[in-house]
Amino acid sequence: MDGEVVSADSMQIYKDMEIGTAKVTPEEAQGIKHYLVDFVTPDKRYSVSNFKSDSESAIEEILSKGKTPIVVGGTGLYINSLIYGIDYPEMDFDLDYRNSLMEKAETEEGLKELYEEAMKIDSEAMKTISQNDKKRITRILEIFKETGMTKTEQDLKSRENGIKYDFRKFIITWDREKLYERINLRVDIMLKQGLIDEVKAWREKYEKFPTAMQAIGYKEVIEYLDEKISYEEMVEKIKQETRHYAKRQLTWFRKNNDYTWLNGEDGNEKNVDIILEDWRK
């Protein structure tokens, strides 16, 4: 396709977070330019609004070369902001309120209460949000508190500018059992590659890491380093959180019926043929 890659992964943007985010290596990149990878320090906040602006700039640069932009990654909000033309306005969230929500979400009873509260505020948006999805549940509540609008209302209003590009959308999926096997193996490989040492170095280098701290793998390793959980508990927690995240991703993307679903077990060659045929049309 003579393309270049735009990453839509909310954690691969951060520097010094190679292993835990499975960031593309120079060997894997094969000389193909990758945009929006490894360019923000973990002590900085980076929003969906930042991504939309930066990704559109990257796409324009790729198009100016006569090449094809290929957007790759699984951060749902990032992707939706780009392919559906949704503008998420910059908001100065009340950190005390956010911390109180996150603290409450740590208990099963507290998270249940937050879920029910969010359902009352925006039942439409909650149709695609799992009862265990702390991040998205609390975001529904934060948006309403800061703007007086529901997330659904905000999304509809922000789409008024329309979509800039003609996207072709594909998702590679796997049988759930095999997917979970691959996730478990991925975590084992990351630990062998030195994930714990990476987190130690990362924590020594940066005093604060407001958004980066949400990365699966990093927060669990920090709990282990702080002796709050055992090594075995840390490993199982990372695997479990990653499996839950994969499940939430599938729920998120299934709500959009304009994706072509590809079976990972069919092999790269078959899936590449399907993508190329669609692209040529």
Element (H, E) at 4: strand 3-7
Residue 37 vs residue 268, higher pLDDT? 37
135: Cβ contacts below 8 Å, ≥ 6 apart: 214
Residue 56: C-alpha distances to residues 22, 81, 204, 208, 260 (Å): 24, 10, 34, 29, 23
CATH code linked to domain 95-159: 1.10.20
Output the pLDDT for position 239. Answer: 97
CA distances from 148 to 102, 141, 187 (A): 20, 10, 41
Please give the Cα distance from 108 to 114 (Å, whole number): 10
| Per-residue pLDDT tens over the stretch 9-32 | 999 999 999 999 999 999 999 999
Give me 253's structure tokens: 């993307």
Q: Residue 204 corresponds to which amino acid?
A: E
Q: Is the pLDDT of residue 89 over 70?
A: no
Q: Which homologous superfamily does the CATH classification assign to the domain defined by 3-85+163-280?
A: P-loop containing nucleotide triphosphate hydrolases (3.40.50.300)
What are the pLDDT digits (tens) for 227-276? 999 999 999 999 999 999 998 888 888 887 789 999 999 888 999 999 99
Res 197 pLDDT > 90: yes
> Please, are residues 34 and 24 in contact by the beta-carbon 8 Å criterion?
yes
Q: Show me where the domains of the chain are located.
A: 3-85+163-280, 95-159
